[in-house]
């Protein structure tokens, strides 16, 4: 009888391999790579076999995933939010949107035109003035019907480089970024191995109860205290970090039929940020959160 190691460590049963690995969590994959020499390269094998296929994920929202990704690269746009988390976790949530962050000015104007003229979306609404804490000026909501289903693409208009917005979201599990050719998770050990997430701004009723409940229902444990240095994974240690450092989960995405784009380094590579512990009170209750602040582009 063929055992599990023989199936996962070779190419002799591709259909069985695919069937088994589809159900593996990130934690399972990491654990298996540590069991024996034969499975040490399991993660790389899954990547090469398209276990994280960004084009397949984007097909629900766009007609031309390659062209869409190339446009992201041209305009320094990034994908974040729930879509990025689902992509890296290899799960799908019904009714979820695609969030794209683009800097205000000519870049977002060009991306809005592309969304309407090339991808056939219609502007549904604009939301203004409620996003000061996230470096966001406005959100454009675009809708279109795909195979009888209404899908939504939200263009998040940021005052500075879009990474400032992603780093200032309300919880660490959502600090994941997809560029045209790379995907990054900033807190992968906490998010995908420990299934824990920490507040990244003061946990008021909306982001501390309403929004967090969604992710509790999806399997994440919310930790209300910022860990002391060295008491948890070092990715959460206070102080300076950079995107692409040893704590970052970085993944090269599938080619987009453009040599220059495929050869380009990650657009966010080396972007520095600082982790700070913040404390405050809400109705007399002491609260803590982890402030994640982009500081500067390295080099």
Q: Quick: pLDDT tens for 162-185.
A: 998 899 888 899 999 999 999 999
Q: Looking at residues 192-208, what average pLDDT do you find?
A: 79
Model pLDDT, residue 132: 56
Model pLDDT, residue 182: 92
CA torsion 191-65-96-94 (nearest 10°) is: -100
**Which residues on neighbouring strands pair with residue 78, listed in sequence order?**
101
Same domain, 41 and 61: no
What CATH number did the domain enclosing 252 receive?
3.30.460.10
Same domain, 34 and 86: no
Distance of CA 272 to the CA centre of its chain: 17
Same domain, 37 and 66: no
Identify the residue with better confidence: 255 or 297: 255
Model pLDDT, residue 5: 75
Of the listed ranges 34-38, 41-45, 270-274, 284-288, the least confidently predicted one is 284-288
Same domain, 59 and 132: yes
Same domain, 272 and 178: yes
Same domain, 15 and 67: no
The rounded distance, in Å, linking the Cα atoms of 268 and 242 is 9
**Which residues on neighbouring strands pair with residue 128, listed in sequence order?**
138
- pTM of the prediction? 0.91
Nearest to 61 by CA among 30, 95, 14, 24: 95
Percent of the chain having pLDDT more than 90?
52
Enclosing domain of residue 42: 4-48
Same domain, 108 and 174: yes
Please say whether the dihedral angle defined by the alpha carbons of residues 5, 10, 13 and 15, taken in this order, is positive or negative.
Answer: positive
Counting beta carbons within 10 angstroms of the beta carbon of residue 102, is it exposed (0 to 12), middle (13 to 18) or buried (19 or more)?
buried
Same domain, 119 and 228: yes
Model pLDDT, residue 299: 47
Same domain, 63 and 35: no
């Amino acid at each position: 009888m063929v055992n599990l190691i023989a199936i996962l460590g070779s190419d002799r049963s591709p259909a069985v391999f695919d069937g088994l690995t589809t159900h593996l969590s990130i934690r399972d994959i990491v654990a298996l790579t540590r069991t024996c020499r034969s499975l040490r390269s399991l993660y790389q094998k899954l990547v090469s076999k398209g276990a994280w296929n960004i084009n397949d994920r984007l097909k629900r929202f766009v007609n031309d995933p390659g062209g869409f990704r190339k446009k992201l690269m041209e305009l320094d746009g990034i994908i974040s939010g729930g879509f990025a988390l689902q992509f890296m976790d290899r799960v799908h949530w019904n009714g979820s949107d695609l969030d794209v962050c683009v800097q205000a000015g000519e870049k977002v104007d060009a991306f809005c035109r592309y969304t309407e003229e090339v991808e056939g979306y219609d502007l549904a609404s604009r939301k203004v003035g409620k996003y000061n804490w996230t470096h966001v000026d406005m959100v454009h909501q675009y809708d279109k019907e795909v195979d009888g289903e209404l899908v939504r693409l939200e263009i998040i208009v940021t005052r500075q480089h879009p990474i400032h917005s992603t780093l200032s979201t309300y919880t660490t599990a959502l600090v994941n970024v997809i560029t045209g050719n790379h995907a990054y998770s900033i807190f992968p050990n906490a998010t995908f191995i420990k299934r824990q997430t920490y507040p990244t701004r003061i946990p008021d009723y909306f982001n501390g109860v309403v929004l967090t409940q969604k992710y509790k229902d999806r399997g994440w444990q919310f930790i209300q205290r910022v860990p002391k240095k060295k008491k948890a994974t070092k990715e959460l240690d206070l102080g300076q970090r950079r995107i692409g450092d040893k704590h970052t989960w970085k993944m090269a995405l599938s080619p987009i039929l453009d040599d220059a784009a495929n050869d380009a380094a990650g657009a966010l590579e080396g972007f520095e940020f600082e982790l700070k512990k913040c404390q405050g009170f809400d109705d007399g209750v002491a609260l803590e959160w982890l402030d994640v602040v982009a500081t500067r582009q390295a080099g």
